[in-house]
Amino acid sequence: MNSQASASSDAKIQMRSIIQRIATGPELSKDISTEEARIGMGAILDNAVDPVQAGIFLIALRMKRETDEELKGILDAVREATGHVVADVDDVVDIADPYDGYNRCLPASPFLMPVLAECGVPAISHGAHAVGPKFGVTHRHILDAVGVSVDLSPVEAAERLADPALGWSYVDQRAFCAPLHNLVDLRSTIVKRQAITTVEVLARPIHGRKHTHLVTGYVHKPYPRIYAMLARHAGFHSALLIRGVEGGVIPSLRQKGTCFNYQQMSEEQSFEVDPAALGIAQSVRAVPLPEDLPQTTRPGDEIAVAVDVLATARAAAQAGIAALEGAQGPTYDSLVFAGALILWHLGREGSLEVAADRIRDVLDSGKAAKRVR
């Protein structure tokens, strides 16, 4: 038996042992160690185990609820399969929106990066074309609609970050972690959210020379602690966790919300944000979908709201560019709110109010729009 075949046999034996322990019902299932979770997820990424076993591994962990140690192990495997690049800048802000996208609003977050870049803060986002469970509109769709290259290698994306005239970039999961991207069909078959959905936003494909800062969103109360724990494990110097619309990084525009952050690997702290305190007065939570937007259906999907992805991406692109050119409205206010949170979190401004005014100045100048190319 050659070494490759031997490794595959070992992986199958280990996966069998793991499944025997984690898939034994609600009372008898046992937790596994960080190392075992890393080995199991690594075998899946290496395509070394049967897809049925891969699906059982992920859904059994979900059904019994993943422990912190198991999530760390799965993240370790993902990060080992990720191509990492250090950009020629000291600090990088990593904006990690949900990979399954949006289907209830027009996303404004893809336009945060050029705004931050105009403020002297290099920023990236990352994502994929179509991932479940929502299969919504993603950063890739919207940036593609405005003519930004969405198929850069991690090295090319890092070079954009270091270009003073640009200062921001997008890198696709297919480019920085192809083994993970290859699991899209498996994840669709599983249907429900599983551990990959939680950890993939923490892959950290592009680092700063000194620090990398995570900005991500959440909806459900257990996740800030989980994301902060995983962010420290992944080496993020700081993290900002925003209770955002559809789990993204834009807070509600019409009501108070709770966010969390940590600095220098310390414990996370909660704080409240109020859009009214920043001069934001909107009757909507987020940028509404246009009334004339085409609707589509997906056979067998009775839960997710179906939107025409390409039409929605074009509408979001149009709204985003208009906001970058100073047009006021929900997209403009979304960028002000999230941008202010990030500048304040990074210590670039002493208060959220001053940070919001700085973002407004950038938008009103139209300079950030010139970085979208």
pLDDT of the chain along its 373 residues, tens only?
455 555 567 878 889 888 989 988 777 889 999 999 999 999 999 999 999 999 999 999 999 999 999 999 999 999 999 999 999 999 999 999 999 999 999 999 999 999 999 999 999 999 999 887 888 999 999 999 999 999 999 999 999 999 999 999 999 999 999 999 999 999 988 888 889 999 999 999 999 999 999 999 999 999 999 999 999 999 999 999 999 999 999 999 999 999 999 999 999 999 999 999 999 999 999 999 998 887 666 554 544 456 789 999 999 999 999 999 999 999 999 999 999 999 999 999 999 999 999 999 999 999 999 999 8
To which H or E segment does residue 80 belong?
A: helix 68-80
Q: Which pLDDT does position 150 carry in this prediction?
A: 96
Q: Let me know: does 154 contact 205? Beta carbons within 8 Å.
A: yes
CA-nearest of 262, 307, 264, 265 to 288 is 307
Q: Give the DSSP letter string of 169-210.
A: EEEEHHHH-HHHHTTHHHHHHH-S--HHHHHGGG---EE-SS
Element containing residue 126 per DSSP (H, E): strand 123-127
Give the per-residue pLDDT at 302. 47
196 in Cβ contact with 99 (< 8 Å): no
Look up the pTM and report it.
0.93
| Distance between CA atoms of residues 230 and 171, nearest Å | 21
Radius of gyration of the chain (CA): 20
Residue 191's pLDDT is what? Answer: 80
Which of 303, 34, 93, 75 shows the shortest CA–CA distance to 198?
75
In this predicted structure, what is the pLDDT of residue 6?
Answer: 55
- Which run of H or of E encompasses 270? strand 269-273
**What is the DSSP track for 301-314?**
-SSSPPB-HHHHHH
368 closest CA partner among 50, 22, 160, 116: 116
